[in-house]
Structure 1
């Protein structure tokens, strides 16, 4: 339990602190809060959001009407959401990559089949509820909120896993099932962000830069040294590369890949994903919450350890710059997101998990009941981090539904998804879950 709590402390408590400060600040002085969020740090031609659009939206607030011939502006919001959050998504991608590629990876083989089907249900259910209810509310509401269909599909892996252990106990097979579902959900979320939420006009030719950077760094600093070390038990060349160059080649490749994503129109926060698979990694992974994971010394895990504290700070600022929503912004998008998470998730996981386990005869882990799938779905309904991120990219900050900003209302739904923790505990009691602590 210590390892789980330690992970949540590292990656989520500062995020929550930032979100709470943002909520208080935005409801005391909304103008100063949004002034900081969109503060221009650097007008340039390389990094940032479209300068012309920024001036049109926010220039008057900063007394800026003329910017010359520069094309981009690096704002506080862009720095955190589009640049620094790339490191957070790289860590998430590392866990997904290990789960898929390693021989003992948790998403390999038949053991992952039912959780993967349940994951699909945990995404299809929220989408169906979100869009279905939006249709019932009328065409005006549907047109305003339909782009946010992916917001309730997300699962906050850290908090869901912690709540799952509280509900089921550390030794219950449902806890590992939940972790598999959450990892698969993260993988699907990364794909959704890349495909359905581009940050601008698509220019896919720029992805060749990302692909080229990934191939070059893999061949020159991973594959080639290992090939030259064939027959050398001391692995002289690989050791020299690791000791003398370390992570620097991958950082340079990451910067090039990130720039390729920005220019291609895909969300640049995903820009490091092509580089993650190129980094030398251990032959096995113990799992994201395993105590033994911290003792792995391969370069991929070493980089993760280096990023641990910086990502803590990044998540604090992510919460600070994204969760500042005025309570007056609560509206139909809030309830649609919540309904998708709190209704669509549990029933989607239950339905598709049952289909996989019974009619398809893929089965459930020994000691797990069908009704436990519903409780797992309740736990997985904690969206928070990724839901906030998707809400920020799904809607323009100026889109309105009546008197409510759609983006702010949807963010409030993501924040309120913590209610799923209480619902999960109640669901566990009602369905008579037998906790297994060892």
Structure 2
């Protein structure tokens, strides 16, 4: 399978981003539990325009992250892996399985409790970490497996965005939402009229983000909507969509996501770890990500395969699919993001973040180990043949 130039750039950037996010997380945890902890945590609580710096990172900067996700999804749908129904069915079913089974597991442990709202936490996959770990395995990884995981993670992110928009909107200001939708429709009309000035779309996107923010729907949804209004053309290097996606890769991967990691992993470790892990919401997150996610992805793929809706990519076997499923259990960025929306209690949020980190570490380590062993054996068999 031949990979496009933009996909290669995307895949390679995720490797560096994954390593950088690990470093930022370690640094943030160390600082939050050091002698300068009060000063460090106060940085993120500093007020600006009536909200904390952490708030503006999560509701402002992350909208740009979701704009990039939207552009990547749009490219996949128009000319990428998701443009052909036969190719798209496996990652679509895999993503659905990876959303439904973890949510079911979490709900099983938390049904009827105040923490039931956290069922969206184990649904999410951190695309940077997942692809980053896969890229560490090097040239042994079949191109088909790279594309499968990328498509799966992008669809997974789309699912998370829909869940955020539908289930994590507490109060809705209908008039402001209508203004946001009106701007979205206007930008779509400008696209149809072949307006190619990117600045017009970006200004419109900022206004749409504002009205989305004050409507009660999470403002990051505006980033995805904006992506689908930006002219795609034929998707070549001269298209507006391509140039914007190319431009955003580095700022998002090397500034926005690391800053998000620093702000949201400033977790002060207190209390007994065993006690933290014994809470039902902790058990739901841990089992959802480490058990539910790989099982959901594996069985979702298997069902699509058995129904004749798609076939495994070249040189990819079922062990590889299970290993990728475990990498899908690396929730990190998206899981933490949903935890911030799901819970109000600061202690529960901190505990949830810690469990997400532990779960992601376990899932990522197991996924790497299984893929390392299976790809090594697969390579030996290929050499013998």
Give TM-score scaled by structure 2 length. Answer: 0.85
Alignment of 1:76-95 (within 5 A): 76-95=53-72
**2:104 aligned to 122, 128, 136, which one?**
128
**1:111 aligned to 65, 77, 87, which one?**
87
Alignment of 1:349-360 (within 5 A): 349-359=297-307
Q: 1:9 and 1:206, CA in 2 relative to 1: closer, same or farther beyond 3 A?
A: same
Give runs of ≥4 in structure 1 deviating > 6 Å: none
Q: Distance in 1 between matches of 2:259 and 2:228?
A: 27
Q: Is the 8 A contact 1:322 1:392 kept in 2?
A: no
**1:19 aligned to 13, 25, 30, which one?**
25
Shift of 1:429: 5.8
Match of 1:65 in 2: none
State whether structure 2 residue 363 is matched by structure 1 residue 420: yes
Shift of 1:430: 6.3
* Structure 2: tracts of 5 or more residues without a match: 1-6
Shift of 1:364: 2.8
State whether structure 2 residue 289 is matched by structure 1 residue 283: no
Q: Is the 8 A contact 1:15 1:317 kept in 2?
A: no
* Structure 1: tracts of 5 or more residues without a match: 43-72, 136-141, 227-237, 286-295, 399-404
Deviations 1:43-73 (A, max 9, x none): xxxxxxxxxxxxxxxxxxxxxxxxxxxxxx1
**1:36 aligned to 34, 43, 51, which one?**
43
Q: 1:328 and 1:303, CA in 2 relative to 1: closer, same or farther beyond 3 A?
A: same
Shift of 1:75: 1.8
State whether structure 2 residue 242 is matched by structure 1 residue 301: yes
Q: 1:144 and 1:82, CA in 2 relative to 1: closer, same or farther beyond 3 A?
A: same
Q: 1:5 and 1:306, CA in 2 relative to 1: closer, same or farther beyond 3 A?
A: closer
Shift of 1:342: 0.9
Whose Rg is larger? 1
Match of 1:178 in 2: 149
**2:201 aligned to 222, 228, 250, which one?**
250
For structure 1, which segment, 261-270 or 276-285, has the greater mean C-alpha deviation from structure 2 after superposition?
276-285
Q: Is the 8 A contact 1:154 1:383 kept in 2?
A: yes
Deviations 1:265-311 (A, max 9, x none): 111122222221111124247xxxxxxxxxx1321222233334433
**2:343 aligned to 395, 406, 412, which one?**
395
Q: Is the 8 A contact 2:90 2:311 kept in 1?
A: yes
Which structure has greater helix proportion?
A: 2
State whether structure 2 residue 347 is matched by structure 1 residue 377: no
Q: Is the 8 A contact 1:103 1:284 kept in 2?
A: yes
**1:158 aligned to 110, 115, 128, which one?**
128
Structure 1 counterpart SS, 2:225:
coil
Match of 2:266 in 1: 324
Q: Is the 8 A contact 2:90 2:304 kept in 1?
A: yes
Shift of 1:33: 3.6
Q: 1:109 and 1:5, CA in 2 relative to 1: closer, same or farther beyond 3 A?
A: closer
Q: Distance in 2 between matches of 1:153 and 1:205?
A: 31
Q: Distance in 2 between matches of 1:2 and 1:99?
A: 14
